[in-house]
Each structure stands twice: as C-alpha cells, then as structure tokens.
Structure 1
C-alpha cells in the first residue's frame, strides 16, 4: 500500500513473486487506507459501540451498572486509537452525538423530554468524551517524550518537502494543544 494524496500504482516483486497492492486493510481493528479518512475510521468504531450500547436498552440493571459498562466497554470502543488520531470538528461532533445517544439510553430520556445534555452528563457523572480523549492524548505524548531519543524522531521532526496549496491539514498535536497551553509553555521557558 502506498500512502499519498493521489493514487500511486507500483509493482513490488519479492523472489519472482508479485506482491498485491491494496488501497486499504484492517490492522488491530483500525482500517488503514491510502487516503486516510479519519471520519470513515471513526464511523466504524461508533457503529461497533452503538451496536453494543443497543444491548443496554433491554437490560433491567441499575443505572450505575449501565454507566460502568459504558465506561469499561462502550467508550473504549468509540475512542479506540484516539491517542494517535487527529481531531477535527466533524470527528468531535460525531463522538459527542454517539456518547449522548448512549447516555440518554442509559438514563431513559429522549430528546423529546427536553432535558439538556449537560444535565444528562451530570446525572451519569461522565466527563465529555472529547475532553477525555484529549487527556489520553496528553498522556500518550508524555509517554512518547520519555522514550529514547532515537524513537522520538517522528514526534519532533517535520517531514521534508513542500505542502500542497491551501489550508494545511490539522496535525495530531494541534488536536489537543490549545493556544493558551502554548503561551503557558513559552512563559515557563522564558
């Protein structure tokens, strides 16, 4: 598989055996594609989590038990790979909508009941899923920073070459670092 902004066909032969080129494949539950579409990847995770959360609807357990199941089973499925995925407004919205759908199912409220999302989250004692993912990214970043210098090359360096015209794509580090965080870091360094 080749990863580029446009489709590249190449021929690879190992010991006179041609290797098939694919445009996407599944590795450890994540679809890796040559075009890299974070919305498509996230949608598959949300669909898996929604199927599991649909099972909670018919269970007669207490609300606390359902919240525990959400925290231990459903949220990790929805946020699988969030540590290394860049967040866009679309992916944040998708995560929040899927989370609220599940939490409303747990509490037994629908949007017709006119109960605010913040009230449902307080009732469940759940932190916003995007903020929770941001904390996970910070933990991952700190973990990578502690690694050996040879392994941190990807984290610290920028790829060579020029970027295409237009607005640059959002980087991984930009999805959890705010401008206020950068200002604090600069003040601490000075």
Structure 2
C-alpha cells in the first residue's frame, strides 16, 4: 500500500478516534505528550520504522503527509469555541462560558481551565474574541492544514 494512502487512512479513520471529544478537554502538556507518543507509535508502525532506525518524527510525518496531533487538537478547540460564541448569548454554552462561581478556591495551584487553554490558543494564532464573528478570518487563522494537502478554492 502506498505511504500517502496510509496517511489518508490515518487522517480519516485513526486521528478522529484519537482526538474524539478533544474540543472540550482542558489539555495539559502531559496529555498532549501522551497523545503525541501514541500517534507516533502508530505512524512508525504504519511506515514499518522502529525507533532503532533513528528516523526523526518530522520525516515520518512528512512522508505520510500528516500534521502534528497537538496542532489538530488546537484547531478542534478553536473551531468549537467559534461555534459556541457565534450562537445567541442565551445559548447554554455561552452561559456556561460566562459563568462565575462565588466563594473561595482551595489552597494550592489552581486547576487548568478549558477557557484559559482556548485563550492561549487564540493568542498563539493571533486571534481575539472580536474575530469570532468574522468566520473567514477565524477559519483562516485557526486552521492547521496537513502538509501536501491541496487547498480548495471554493472556500
């Protein structure tokens, strides 16, 4: 089976399973690392390459035409955030995003919140909350295309 076809199968079957529900995860570096490890194990197995062959991850991804799963996780989060923010303000998702809990927090380091992960993602993509309504700009700046993927002119 050609390597590019394996990459297409990975993108259409395996990656969606790997990232299912990732839009709502408050992803930590540890989570991303474990998903990247699982992804690279699968990609290396598909190519018939082992770690002993000392072939870099970028080369394996490039030969299959696959983007890093961390970029795709970020893309999924931003896409879902855009969908929610474009809904009416009384939509339950927007109510939940703006909800503040009163009272004192527990001692120690605060837990990572989903909204702080999304804000960091927006900062890295050069987006602001005002850009949500401009769908073309939001999509252009938040999407991370796979290498070698052809762009469609209709969008």
TM-score range, shorter chain: 0.7 to 0.9
Shift in alpha-carbon separation, 1:107–1:179, aligned structure 2, 3 A: closer
Q: In structure 1, which of residues 70, 91, 95 is the aligned counterpart of residue 35 of structure 2? A: 95
> Post-superposition shift, 1:150?
1.1
Q: Report the counterpart of residue 143 of structure 1 in structure 2.
A: 83
| Larger Rg over CA atoms | 1
Q: Per-residue deviation at 1:180?
A: 8.0
Root-mean-square deviation over aligned CA pairs:
2.2
Partner of 1:161: 103
In structure 2, stretches of 5+ residues that fail to align are 132-155
TM-score calculated relative to the size of structure 2? 0.74
Higher relative contact order (CA 8 A, sep 6+): 2
* Larger relative strand fraction: 1
State the distance in 1 between where 2:73 and 2:52 align: 29
Aligned length: 127
> Which one has the bigger helix percentage?
2
Q: 2:61 aligned with 1:104, yes or no?
A: no
1:118 Cα deviation from its structure 2 partner: 1.3
Per the TM alignment, residue 158 of structure 1 is displaced from its structure 2 partner at its CA by: 2.2
Q: CA deviation at 1:157?
A: 2.3
**TM-score, L = length of structure 1:** 0.61
**2:20 — aligned with what?**
80
**Residue in structure 1 matched with residue 4 of structure 2 by the alignment:** 64
Is 1:177 the counterpart of 2:119? The answer is: yes
Q: Which stretches in structure 1 are left out of the alignment for 5+ residues?
A: 1-60
Q: 1:106 to 1:179 in 2, by over 3 A?
A: closer
